[in-house]
Structure 1
């Protein structure tokens, strides 16, 4: 089994993805408004040799019928939620190899503004930046906050395709590789013949101008996407270099992985041109007993009401209002389709009852997989899961901050390295080279974005 990729999944807010750990005396997640809190975490991840820090984000929040969900406010779950973009320059300054994947939505601001910001960050991080492309999370409340109507799920992806095209046009088409000259004696900053106005007229977005700064180390940030709905897989096949999927039953994850790889092939790309990463929570300790005690402690801080609030914020479905003895009758949503499909009957298997959905979500959270045990037991579970699913790595989520990470680094990472499941040292200078060490810092020729390149 080849070395896997390991990133850290974080919100700029309190708690992990299961329960409300902020109330524990040893948890520091409520310090999320402190820059020093994030600097300390980033330095820890960098020194441990983890591949990247994935910062999730949404303008939305858990609400139903235009009203805040009390449990969300009371338990700090989904509310509050800060903007990760201002963090990255500070974290890049105190780290050497750690990558940063930032989430922005294709439905909130003009693509040229987003492209410029990511290009600037790619310069400041020396090529360690990735863009997690979302079409909207907690979409109804995010749309209302921005004074807009909620856009239908598949239409959001149509818009996102066009949004990415604008971005690629700017990143790849504005400057040739050798346009920047910096000849002080000749007084020549850049060669005018190699800086180009670009034009894009799409069904949803248009742009005329240039990306007003020279090419960054990667030109285009690493392109990441989350979600496993049918339309989401199609979007991934066309655009993504890495896809983040929820965990859960290995058979379901394996089907999602196959679907993503098939989408890449359908788009004319190699099946292995997309790295698939699964969200997971690792709970470990010096012994198996310690790990399971931590698990029990976590569940004691995870209420059905808090879990239902997060599920409602993501899907728009109020589990507490449904008959607990029946399956979820709804089969589609204009919000988080993946977390609805997770609990629908498939391949001849009956759908779980609403009470079972709620309990599973209370125990495993929005991303679905929890590995518990001693270091050897957790890594055994990792090996079995990878063999059954074909995933390329994991986005590791916290329970306790920083305790979950301290245990991971002390116990699990040495075991992963001893079995050859984690590289001894991070590979590559840029984030793209970290994921694809056989490639270069720039988009490969097999990615459709390559054809936007000026001067090729």
Structure 2
């Protein structure tokens, strides 16, 4: 029996490369219609969710913004995706809406109220991508804080999620919200509780005043393939994003599922989604030609700027004919895109630059006709045990050929749903009726109907 795949659409809240096209006058990333049209197109074509990535950071070197980032807009200008979700919820009915909020810059009381509000306004369709953040050096400078060690950032993330789950799951019992006009009772005070949290990074005594939403806790995502990232995913996440570039993708997925079992959740407690780019053309030859043309349009300086955004490492300052030196690779910025280039057969700095020039963080794209890329995608699912894809947009940012040709081909093969299951995002992933966290999730232990916090 073939696995039914989850399909998410990936976008960042910044301009698409089409802005560089002379005479381009299409909708801009600061136009609300750009995003509402995108969300409606994703829903109309059967995507399970739309994911908007985010970060406060930008490319830096030696604690200074890299001028090329500003001049060429390399992971530089963005808008706040949290501000978009309400608008996208208003023009859609079924598709999930997922956004990134960093555990480094937003406190749990803020995050819990924001996501509970969005879960109400979307009728249960929101998800939180839990990250410690990319471009950490720039973010730390922006917020006037020291750059925290990588391991400590993940310890803080775990503490953040613990308090967030206490507030979501522990503040209101399921039947606390009465709204009884006859008795004049808004909520039963015996069933609305203050929670107490005294963690290593966060302390709180209080409650989440926003009443329970359809999912109670938003669907939880995680992105980051470092060992600490995989452990955070296994402990809390319900879906995890992993780059298609990784030669160890199957091992990463196996490791996450093993860790989930050790946390008492089970190997199928979360969905592992391959983040990748689909370049679709009439023929393989045409797809390869378009791919090579796109590579040629990216300079090595831009590739180095992009790499610095994710890692804090300035590749242009290193010997191009040697691997990244251990001193540079041991920094406390992002680890995923450092660790992928380490090991006995580590590439040279020049090869790393060429890889980022060609593929960025997503890895080599799926190339060819709709049938050919569907073959490649199906083979990767079989090889890795993944549960679906997070699809990087076409160069024009619209996914037109993926929607028009690849989705129907995947549907013809019985690999994706004919229609979305249930009304909430969690049901899209785990089946109708699975609206709230399962009892096996660590957040369930904070429910007042079960135990006292």
TM-score range, shorter chain: over 0.9
Deviation, structure 1 residue 439: 5.7
After the TM superposition, which of the residue ranges 234-243 and 437-446 deviates more from structure 2? 437-446
For the residues of structure 1 that align with 2:382 and 2:23, how far apart are their CA atoms?
A: 35
Q: Which residue of 2 aligns with 1:379?
A: 374
Structure 1 gap segments, 5+ residues each: none
Q: Quick check: 1:450 aligned with 2:450?
A: no
Could you state the TM-score of these two structures normalised by the residue count of structure 1?
0.95
Write the distance in 2 (CA, Å) between the matches of 1:394 and 1:39. 22
1:288 aligned residue (284, 303, 314)? 284
Partner of 2:130: 133
Q: Distance in 1 between matches of 2:73 and 2:384?
A: 33
Aligned with 1:79 (options 59, 64, 76)? 76
Whether the 8 Å contact between 2:63 and 2:137 is mirrored in structure 1 is: no
CA contact (8 A) 1:314 1:336 kept: yes
- 1:110-131 per-position Cα deviation (integer Å, ceiling 9, x unaligned): 2111111111001001110000
**TM-score normalised by L of structure 2:** 0.95
Return the offset for 1:24: 2.9
Q: Does residue 365 of structure 2 align to residue 370 of structure 1?
A: yes
Q: Partner of 2:166 in structure 1?
A: 169
Where do 1:7-406 residues align within 5 Å? 7-15=8-16, 20-24=17-21, 31-249=28-246, 251-330=247-326, 331-345=329-343, 350-403=345-398, 405-406=399-400
Partners of 1:127 and 1:216 within 8 A in 2: yes
Contact kept, 8 Å, 2:421 with 2:432, in 1: the verdict is no
CA–CA distance in 1 between the matches of 2:316 and 2:158? 36
1:416 to 398, 410, 413: 410
Q: CA deviation at 1:300?
A: 2.6
Task: From the superposition, tell whether residues 49 and 27 of structure 1 become closer, same or farther in structure 2 (CA, over 3 Å).
Answer: farther
Q: In the aligned structure 1, how far is the partner of 2:403 from the partner of 2:84? A: 23
- Encode CA deviations 1:347-397: one digit per residue, 9 max, x unaligned: xx5111111111111111112141110000000110111111111111111
Aligned positions, number: 447
RMSD across aligned positions (CA): 1.6
Change in Cα spacing, 1:36 to 1:290, as seen in structure 2 (3 Å) is: same
| C-alpha distance in structure 1 between counterparts of 2:289 and 2:41, whole Å | 25
Query: In structure 1, the residue corresponding to 2:268 is in which secondary structure?
Result: helix
**Contact 1:28-1:402 within 8 A present in 2 as well:** no
Q: Which runs of 5+ in 2 are unaligned?
A: none
